[in-house]
Homo-oligomer: A and B are copies of this chain.
């Protein structure tokens, strides 16, 4: 700490205050906490450079920390060292409306950015649910409900400024819309979970806010019908912005939690967006496609407040489960399977959690085959943790066996290292080669992605 305070003299920004240490020892989930030795809040790239240079010289682990909303233990400093909290680096540096791009510091949050962009008629589409920091979203290759239209973070970053393990500063990409200039280092750093470098600036693509947005909800008898309908709607080329599936048991839990009376059946939540003159007919065409699949009920809504109400059961899915188990912490599976496998995968997942006597929410980004099973775990109970891991294990195994991946959007962290190896085979070995080539001392977020 004494050495670090030579770099950053402001005592509040180099601290081992108990509350702050505790905050930086955990994430939102059941993963066991472990404290950093010190929490450092850099204010600019030069401080990041100096702190990491110090850490490199003294072999001290560096664990970047955004808002702490990741869910695979990414921010837990399992080998101690420095938790590098990036939240003071929260400047929106340069908005370029004509280029549809913005340069931000990593501590800027998604909602902060979109509030600022609104007056330009622009927005940044990736929406993982949480009000995550942009730096954290890049680090985990976040996506969420908008990915069916806009893709993942992997498609949204034009350039990065990164401090490497030895403290040196490097820029990748730039402000032009595309480039074929050498290897795509930008994409190598996206999803690297703090193990290859610490971001100090991020250049993002932006999009025009759609002229019109309409939400809709369609209730089906079976998950299979709902999934097939989703594929058909996407195939048709309609202006779908989001398309989400919630299973019947989850709707039941929401009804109990909110005292609502949504039909307790598999439900698709949809959003159409685009030019105003596209939408009316797109919704009508969507409705007719949906009716071909024995839809029980279809409603749509364009008023912003009522649109939110319509999506209520989707938004409340996790809270409905959380509320019933105070003191416990959530676990979320995150497999992504080929879309044709999704109905069977969801059915299989529901059976797995029922067989284990667990109550959980299941909801899927049905446009891309990524779905989550969220359930609560007592982090003090080894038995419960083991049961949770067994459930995850079965769900991941099903996904990998069917050509899927253990993580669609949450990343590996400490929770999925074994699966990464199983799923990626010799590619896992090459990832380790690259990690070693870029961070030979293994000081950047050690123990994440790799053991």
Task: List A residues at the B interface (Cβ < 8 Å).
Answer: 96-101, 121, 140-143, 147, 151-152, 154-155, 164, 168-172, 174-185, 187-188, 190-192, 196, 208, 210-211, 231, 234-239, 274-275, 277-278, 281-282, 285, 334, 336-340, 367-370, 399, 403-412, 416, 419-420, 423-428, 430-431, 433-438, 449
Query: Whole-angstrom distance from the CB of A409 to the nearest CB of chain B?
Result: 5
Given known contacts A340-B98, A405-B179, A433 and B438 CB-to-CB distance under 8 angstroms = yes
Find the B residue at minimum CB distance from A205. B151
User: Considering residues A174, A404, A411, A423, which has the most beta carbons from chain B within 10 angstroms of its beta carbon?
Assistant: A174
CA of A339 to CA of B177 in the docked complex: distance in angstroms?
Answer: 8
Contact of A430 among B140, B427, B438 (CB under 8 A): B438
A433 contacts B437, CB within 8 Å? yes
What number of copies of this chain does the assembly contain?
Answer: 2
B188 contacts A405, CB within 8 Å? no
B237 contacts A182, CB within 8 Å? no
| Residues of B contacting A234 in the complex (Cβ-Cβ under 8 angstroms) | 100
A178 contacts B152, CB within 8 Å? yes
CA of A370 to CA of B234 in the docked complex: distance in angstroms?
Answer: 30
| Residues of B contacting A236 in the complex (Cβ-Cβ under 8 angstroms) | 208
A172 contacts B409, CB within 8 Å? no
Given known contacts A237-B208, A369-B176, A425-B170, A181 and B430 CB-to-CB distance under 8 angstroms = no
B408 contacts A180, CB within 8 Å? yes
A180 contacts B231, CB within 8 Å? no
CA of A99 to CA of B179 in the docked complex: distance in angstroms?
Answer: 28
What are 11 A-B residue pairs whose CB atoms fall within 8 Å in the complex?
A99-B338, A100-B234, A141-B180, A154-B187, A175-B404, A179-B408, A181-B416, A183-B431, A185-B430, A237-B274, A275-B282
